[in-house]
Amino acid sequence: MLKNDAFLKACRREPTDFTPVWIMRQAGRYMKEYQAIRKRVDFLTMCKTPELAAQATLLPIDILGVDAAILFSDILIPVEAMGMEVRFTEKRGPVFSTPIRSEAQVQGLSIPGPAESEERMPFIADAIRLILQGLDHRVPLIGFSGAPFTLATYMIEGETSKNFTWIKRMMYTDPPLLHKLLDKITGAVIHYLNMQIRAGVHAVQLFDTWAGSLSPDDYQEFALPYVERVIKGIDKKNCPVILFANGVSSILEYMGNSGADVNGLDWRIDIGVARRRVGSQVALQGNLDPCVLYAGPDEIRGHVQAILHKYGTGPGHIFNLGHGILPDTPVEHAKALVDIVHEESSSKRS
């Protein structure tokens, strides 16, 4: 039994005494405790050392008092397990040595099944077990994966991209090849998430960060069907699924019908409008602009009140930022956000 299950209740659109809150990238460089670990080891080593991943995961629970923990890892870990080589650089972020550009490369990728997933990424289940011990039932633990389209973006572009020219070139010149790649990634993602669920995560989030860069028609052809297959393929009996995308406004109705329990929103959409569009089908997560946290508590409070007010009464809201917290955010402002969401949402209910 969890001591604080407000996050899971909100995922299922059940009433809670306050609006639960967590922060995407909540264990990160804005915390001095995180930086102290990173001084000793590089990012990938941190992801692959269960004790360090667990330590990082628990930091925001102890320091900020958020209502959910999220596994410390990266969406590109299972891509490495499919046979691609990835490096994390200071300036350019993740970089693949040989981006996917040909049929032979797609053919060469392997799909780790249940046993291979455990074998190639033993540190994932080990970290989850350590985190669950450290949490001692205080709050639920969220597992995650990149969604197939977003993973394909990194695999084809080779690094973070602004215009997505390589993946879109493939999309328009050789769509069967892109479908073949997405199909393989989908298989790998299903096994990867099921491994996390077996190890004990309470919910999972699918990051389809770059799906908002697609036209609605292309979203329906190249992103949505694979998200739906992942959601159908995972053992979600007791495990709500959150589907996050950046730039949701043009694709929100499709996300609402995807089978996900929660839709994660970026900050460019009014959460009240989003609720009217899909809120009878799903819970909503979001959606403060991460840059608001550059301002102090008074300014943060005003923005929190506005979002709570726009969402309105009734259950099904999980407070979060509209994208990951930025590395130069003052940690006391992140802490203020969590306290303010709790205060303002409890006073709204009483």
Q: Tell me which residues are annotated as active site.
A: 25, 29, 38, 74, 154
Helices 175-199 and 148-157 meet at what angle, rounded to 10? Answer: 120
Alpha carbons 80 and 84: distance in angstroms, whole number: 5
Alpha carbons 161 and 152: distance in angstroms, whole number: 12
Interactions with ligand CP3, residue window 88-117 (CB under 6 A): 88, 93-94
Min separation Cβ 183 and ligand CP3, Å: 21
Min separation Cβ 209 and ligand CP3, Å: 4
Residue 27 interacts with ligand CP3 (CB under 6 A)? yes
Residue nearest to ligand CP3 (CB): 93
Which lies closer to ligand CP3 via its Cβ, residue 39 or residue 237? 39
- 183 near 209, Cβ under 8 Å? no
Number of residues that bind ligand CP3 (CB under 6 A): 22
Residue 25 interacts with ligand CP3 (CB under 6 A)? yes
Min separation Cβ 153 and ligand CP3, Å: 9
Residue 29 interacts with ligand CP3 (CB under 6 A)? yes
Return the range that interacts with ligand CP3 (CB under 6 A); candidates 66-74, 78-86, 101-109, 222-230. 66-74
Which lies closer to ligand CP3 via its Cβ, residue 73 or residue 329? 73
Strand order across the beta sheet in which 317-318 lies: 69-70, 141-146, 203-208, 241-245, 262-264, 283-285, 317-318
Residue 324 interacts with ligand CP3 (CB under 6 A)? yes
Residue 7 interacts with ligand CP3 (CB under 6 A)? no
- Per-residue contact flags (x/-) with ligand CP3 for residues 134 to 163, judged by CB under 6 A: ----------x---------------x---
Return the range that interacts with ligand CP3 (CB under 6 A); candidates 61-69, 78-86, 87-95, 192-200. 87-95
Residue 197 interacts with ligand CP3 (CB under 6 A)? no
Return the range that interacts with ligand CP3 (CB under 6 A); candidates 19-27, 191-199, 234-242, 278-286. 19-27
Residue 28 interacts with ligand CP3 (CB under 6 A)? yes
Which lies closer to ligand CP3 via its Cβ, residue 7 or residue 144? 144
- Hey, what are 17's tokens? 């005494």
Contact pick of 2, 12, 33, 43 for ligand CP3 (by CB under 6 A): 43
Residue 209 interacts with ligand CP3 (CB under 6 A)? yes
Return the range that interacts with ligand CP3 (CB under 6 A); candidates 4-12, 26-34, 178-186, 214-222. 26-34
Residue 196 interacts with ligand CP3 (CB under 6 A)? no
Min separation Cβ 107 and ligand CP3, Å: 25
Contact pick of 26, 55, 117, 287 for ligand CP3 (by CB under 6 A): 26
Contact pick of 67, 74, 157, 344 for ligand CP3 (by CB under 6 A): 74
Residue 38 interacts with ligand CP3 (CB under 6 A)? yes
Strand partners, 144: 205
Query: Over the chain, what HEC string results?
Result: CCCCCHHHHHHCCCCCCCCCECCCCCCCCCCHHHHHHHHHCCHHHHHHCHHHHHHHHHHHHHHHCCCCEECCCCCCHHHHHCCCCEEEECCCEEEECCCCCCHHHHHHCCCCCHHHHHHHCHHHHHHHHHHHHHHCCCCCEEEEEECHHHHHHHHHHCECCCCCHHHHHHHHHCHHHHHHHHHHHHHHHHHHHHHHHHHCCCEEEEEECCHHHCCHHHHHHHHHHHHHHHHHHCCCCCCCEEEEECCCCCCHHHHHCCCCCEEECCCCCCHHHHHHHHCCCCEEECCECHHHHHCCHHHHHHHHHHHHHHHCCCCCEEECECCCCCCCCCHHHHHHHHHHHHHHHHHHHC
Site residues (CB under 6 A) for ligand CP3?
24-29, 38, 43, 70, 72-76, 88, 93-94, 144, 160, 207, 209, 324
